[in-house]
Amino acid sequence: MQIPRDAMLLRIFTGEDERHDHHPLYEAIVLKAREMHLAGATVLRGPMSFGHSSRLHTSKILRLSEDLPVVIEIVDSEDKINAFLPVLDSMMASGLVTLEKVQVLQYGSTSIMQGN
């Protein structure tokens, strides 16, 4: 699978307690991205966050079950990301979604910069 050098980064901010069809939302998003043959997805769990409600979510000992932040990042071509957005919209009840243009320097074991 190839990703063009000029690609898009889809970043999804949500909480680990969010669900889709009785599964964690982050898991459902990654599995749907794989099903749609996107290049890859990474889930990052954060130790602290706040959002539009200003409610603090933290991993401090007394608050371990306080819906910690989760960020899902997906990089692929603009066309494939745009095709994924309506699917993502149907899965999410809340959260923040951002898009940005990125340059892919390496995907897999061969560097794009070297022209291989």
Q: What proportion of the chain, given as a percentage, has pLDDT over 70? A: 81
Average pLDDT over residues 92-112: 87
Spatial distance between the Cα atoms of 17 and 31, rounded to a whole number of angstroms: 17
Per-residue model confidence as pLDDT tens digits over 55-96: 766 666 555 556 788 999 999 999 999 999 999 999 999 899
CATH number of this structure's domain 6-111, picked from the four choices 3.40.950.10, 3.30.70.120, 3.40.630.30, 3.10.20.30: 3.30.70.120
Per-residue model confidence as pLDDT tens digits over 22-31: 999 999 999 9
> Do the beta carbons of residue 29 and residue 88 sit within 8 Å?
yes
Per-residue model confidence as pLDDT tens digits over 17-59: 899 999 999 999 999 999 999 999 999 998 777 777 767 666 6
Which of left, alpha, beta for 30 (phi over 0: left; psi -120 to 50: alpha)?
alpha
pTM equals 0.83
φ, ψ dihedrals at 25, nearest 5°: -55, -45
